[in-house]
Structure 1
Amino acid sequence: MIEPWDPWWLKPAARTICLSKDGAQLIQPMANREDLESDQPSDIPCGPKTPLPSLRMLISTEPSPLLAVHLVDIIYSYCFTLRVYNGDWQSDAVGSAMVVLSISSVLGQAGQPETVQEALCYCLEQTCSPAYRHIGGLQFGLALVDDITNLLSLGSPALICMLCDLQRMIMAAGRELKSEKQRKLRKSETKSKLKLAERKVYFIMCWVHEQPNNTLSSLAAIVSAEKSSLMEYGGNKSFSRTEKNVAGNKGKALIEEM
């Protein structure tokens, strides 16, 4: 019998994640195995093994103010994928990574959403598409918006662990692709997409590390408000996302289950 999977970000242990000042995972003393397991729950993803560099070492200009919006897109795609795979992305790293790329505008389409609403609407549209609507459609998507809020409320340590887990998934998919027999062109395109996605995830991980908690809590409040708007304008039923409807509803983006 398959037991239902409980997301790690909803467990009490997720609120006690600690990383070093430079963002790396803390070195645990090698006590007996039982103590080690109790201190480090196995279902909580590990943080980076090495310190995270300053953004100044990665770019010469100020980071884009849209990174917060892109983080929302990335969190959604991660939570979607882990829920689909019951937390076990290791069972199919390539398949899991492909799901992430198909849901995320930022990682899969080199998208540049400019508002939280735009980021959420793209992800929800993919969730309600023919490829995924059987999983739960709009209601499943709205539950994932709650996942975003929960992860943001945990603060930067949990977000860094989440992004590190996503990075490991993408890198594992790249390694698996090397051993798979595919047409060279398709294989090369997929590997390029994965490499670019991995770099984006690492960069935003470094950005998250430098953000104060009030920035993340404010972002969580915006996401929560956007969910309320979606619920107000038809969260419990299908409705069209057309320019006419958007204009008629003061810019509220609407989702249709296709």
Structure 2
Amino acid sequence: MEKVIVAEANTSTSSSEPRIICRVCQKQFSQYTCPRCNSRYCSLQCYKRHSLRCTESFMRENVMEELKQVQPDDETKRKMVDILKRFHSEEEMNSEDDGDETMLSEEIIQKVLSGEEIKLEDLSPEETKHFRRAIASGELSKLIEPWTPWWRKPSARSISLSPEGCQLVKALDVQSTTDTISEIPVGPESPLQPLKQLMRGEPSPLLAVHVIDILYSYCFTLRLYNGDWHSDPLGASTMALSISKVLGDAGRPETVTEALTACMEETCSPIYRQAGGFSFSIGLVDDVICLLSLGPHALICCLCDFQRLFQAGERMLQSENISKRERNKTTQKLRSAERKVYFLMCWVHEQPAETWSTLAGFVKVEKASLSQLGENVKAERKRMSKPNTLIQEV
């Protein structure tokens, strides 16, 4: 993910490093970083304003039956309708208020594209306002060349792992495979452990639903980071935790609809509005369907990539200038997420192949239902916004 840096012109040698604008007020340079969501802020007042938005197995013989019993309830659908109404309402208000104010001049755009540093002294007061708004709205991120997800590439259909769920051929340079972007994430380096070694009793029948939640958060994170989570593993991992209820809030969604609704609600929240809102969230559901359709080997590679993300985030956290208490708290969250992802890797490895095509079918049904809800809400808002005809022309 690209970061836009704005530097003051007349600074002393001790403060000559580029500084980042506060994500909250968009007026002052930031001095602090939120340890939970990695947002930058400038003061206690901005932190308080920001913190309001920063909220802290199948068994082989009954996989199909358990999935068929996973049905959405009326309350879940009602909540989704409310989310869509609120999103479309805010979207219309923003479009009316902003007009063309977020447009940047051609000169500024060319500077950004060429990687030049933008100085405040080079901008007029109006351009400064436009530039800061563009940073906040995500307009500049639209200039970045779109990334094609690895799960959308033809090579993803031929992923092959060993019977133990690990790489068939171990990479010679392990560091290079984990710290650079490859076309397809490599699988585990060691055989996956049997579930019976990781737990007592039988796995929960809800694990398939939890996989959907985690796949969604993975796709969300990689798309917002344009495929390169390695550039900021701590920021990417905290972003993933904010989307996934299973990893971030220890949630236990019980239906496919519940899992998707919770993820989509967070995607449509003001924090991530610049990503694309409802249409972007529906596209992520398509990504989940694509990954499920690829089968167990692709899912294991996906989860393994997610595990490495949390591990890299934890390593990066050790160099952050934060209190020991906050570091320990965040470390605990990252380790918990990493363990959950590894457990699901082992669980996925032991499931029958037909599980994933069946689950993809359920997600397709829910996607169609959610898309229709979105269209109905949009059409209703459009109808309500039309002025009533007082005099009929003859």
* TM-score bucket (shorter structure): 0.7 to 0.9
Offset of residue 236 of structure 1: 7.0
Cα 1:235–1:71, aligned 2, differ >3 Å: closer, same or farther? farther
Q: 2:212, 2:288 within 8 Å by CA — same for their partners in 1?
A: yes
Distance in 2 between residues matched to 1:161 and 1:235, nearest whole Å: 35
Distance in 2 between residues matched to 1:169 and 1:125, nearest whole Å: 24
Partner of residue 166 from structure 2, selected from 5, 21, 24: 24
The aligned residue for residue 252 of structure 2 is: 112
The aligned residue for residue 187 of structure 2 is: 47
The aligned residue for residue 235 of structure 2 is: 95
Offset of residue 237 of structure 1: 4.8
Unaligned runs of 5+ in 2: 1-112, 114-143, 173-180, 380-394
Give the greater-gyration-radius structure (CA): 2
Offset of residue 213 of structure 1: 1.6
Classify the secondary structure of the residue corresponding to 1:234.
helix
Q: 1:116, 1:222 within 8 Å by CA — same for their partners in 2?
A: yes
Cα 1:52–1:236, aligned 2, differ >3 Å: closer, same or farther? farther
Tell me whether 1:228 sits opposite 2:388 in the alignment. Answer: no
The aligned residue for residue 291 of structure 2 is: 151
Offset of residue 77 of structure 1: 0.2
Offset of residue 234 of structure 1: 2.1
More displaced, 230-239 or 175-184? Answer: 230-239
The aligned residue for residue 263 of structure 2 is: 123
Q: How many residues align?
A: 231
More displaced, 179-188 or 102-111? Answer: 179-188
The aligned residue for residue 329 of structure 2 is: 189
Cα 1:4–1:229, aligned 2, differ >3 Å: closer, same or farther? same
More displaced, 2-11 or 164-173? Answer: 2-11
Offset of residue 46 of structure 1: 0.4
The aligned residue for residue 199 of structure 2 is: 59
Q: Which runs of 4+ in 1 moved over 4 A?
A: 235-239
The aligned residue for residue 77 of structure 1 is: 217
Q: 1:74, 1:104 within 8 Å by CA — same for their partners in 2?
A: yes
Q: Deviations over 1:57-86 (max 9, x none)?
A: 111110000000000000000000000001
Offset of residue 235 of structure 1: 4.3
Cα 1:229–1:29, aligned 2, differ >3 Å: closer, same or farther? closer
Tell me whether 1:141 sits opposite 2:281 in the alignment. Answer: yes
The aligned residue for residue 254 of structure 1 is: none
Cα 1:137–1:19, aligned 2, differ >3 Å: closer, same or farther? same
Classify the secondary structure of the residue corresponding to 2:271.
coil
Classify the secondary structure of the residue corresponding to 1:60.
coil
Cα 1:188–1:158, aligned 2, differ >3 Å: closer, same or farther? same
Offset of residue 42 of structure 1: 2.7
Offset of residue 154 of structure 1: 0.2
Cα 1:29–1:90, aligned 2, differ >3 Å: closer, same or farther? closer
Q: Deviations over 1:25-81 (max 9, x none)?
A: 111698xxxxxxxxxx93100000000011111111100000000000000000000
* TM-score after normalising by structure 2: 0.57
Unaligned runs of 5+ in 1: 31-40, 240-258
Q: 2:170, 2:189 within 8 Å by CA — same for their partners in 1?
A: no
Q: 2:213, 2:263 within 8 Å by CA — same for their partners in 1?
A: yes
Offset of residue 183 of structure 1: 1.5
Tell me whether 1:12 sits opposite 2:139 in the alignment. Answer: no
Q: 1:97, 1:170 within 8 Å by CA — same for their partners in 2?
A: yes
Q: 1:138, 1:235 within 8 Å by CA — same for their partners in 2?
A: no
Distance in 2 between residues matched to 1:85 and 1:29, nearest whole Å: 25
Q: Deviations over 1:60-113 (max 9, x none)?
A: 110000000000000000000000001000000000001100000000000000
